[in-house]
Amino acid sequence: MSGNSSRRSPVERFFRMSLYVFAGLVLLQLSLALLAEIWPWLLGIGIIAGGISITVWWLRHRNTW
């Protein structure tokens, strides 16, 4: 086998990169759609976790006085 057979033409590289960009955009769209459906749950979990963290911090500092 010669070394030239493994090299891709510029047109083939262009279409391959276009396919990668298209696949990336499709995956980004799917992830944003999923995030749009579950964002209230994520926000609620974040608020609960923040409240617990603040409560634990406050109790620890209150007991050190």
Ranges of each domain in the chain: 3-63
Residue 1 is predicted with a pLDDT of 46
Interacting residues of 8 by C-beta distance below 8 A, sequence separation 6+? 16
| Distance (Å, whole) CA 58 – CA 64 | 10
List pLDDT tens digits, range 1-56.
Answer: 455 556 889 999 999 999 999 999 999 999 999 999 999 999 999 999 999 999 99
Residue 8 is predicted with a pLDDT of 84
**SS3 track for 2-28:** CHHHHCCCHHHHHHHHHHHHHHHHHHH
- The answer, yes or no, to whether residue 63 has pLDDT greater than 90, is no
| Distance (Å, whole) CA 53 – CA 35 | 24
